[in-house]
């Protein structure tokens, strides 16, 4: 993943779909057998990666929604973005 830049705008790959099975969230790649398990934070980050929000805006939305987790949010967002980037599920644009 490129070096973290708060102005990066993550965008979902178009060939992915989400399936919710109870409390689990799975991200499937159309045309392959690739499946990525998303924890709660990663699932929220995925939903917020709509091509209009920067990494900083995504963090701020989560910080506002979960102030009790403020110490963990930046790290968890970075980990989720790295996982989604490595799986090819999103791309980061400046």
The token duo for 20 is 């919710």
Q: Is residue 6 part of a domain?
A: no
Q: Which residues form the domain of 51?
A: 12-89
Residue 58: inside a domain: yes
Question: Is residue 72 very low, low, confident or very high in pLDDT (cuts 50, 70, 90)?
Answer: very high
23 is a domain residue: yes
Please tell me the total count of domains within the chain.
1
Q: What is the pLDDT of residue 94?
A: 55
What totals of helices (H) and strands (E) does the chain contain, helices first?
3, 5
Question: Looking at the DSSP assignment, which residues form a beta bridge with residue 9?
Answer: 93
Is residue 3 a part of any domain in this protein?
no
Tokens 């963090």 belong to 59
Residue 16 belongs to some domain of the structure: yes
- Is the residue at 4 inside a domain? no
Greater pLDDT, 30 or 4 = 30
CATH code at position 64? 3.90.930
- The predicted model scores a pTM of 0.84
pLDDT, one tens digit per residue, over 19-68 is: 998 878 999 987 787 899 998 889 999 999 999 999 999 999 999 999 99
């Amino acid at each position: 993943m490129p070096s973290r830049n708060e102005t990066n705008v993550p965008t979902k790959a178009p060939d992915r779909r989400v399936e919710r099975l109870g409390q689990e969230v799975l991200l499937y790649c159309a045309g392959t057998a690739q499946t990525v398990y998303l924890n709660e934070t990663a699932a929220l980050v995925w939903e917020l990666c709509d091509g209009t929000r920067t990494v900083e805006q995504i963090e701020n939305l989560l910080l506002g929604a979960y102030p009790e987790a403020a110490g963990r949010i930046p790290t968890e967002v970075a980990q989720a973005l790295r996982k989604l980037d490595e799986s090819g599920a999103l791309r980061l644009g400046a």
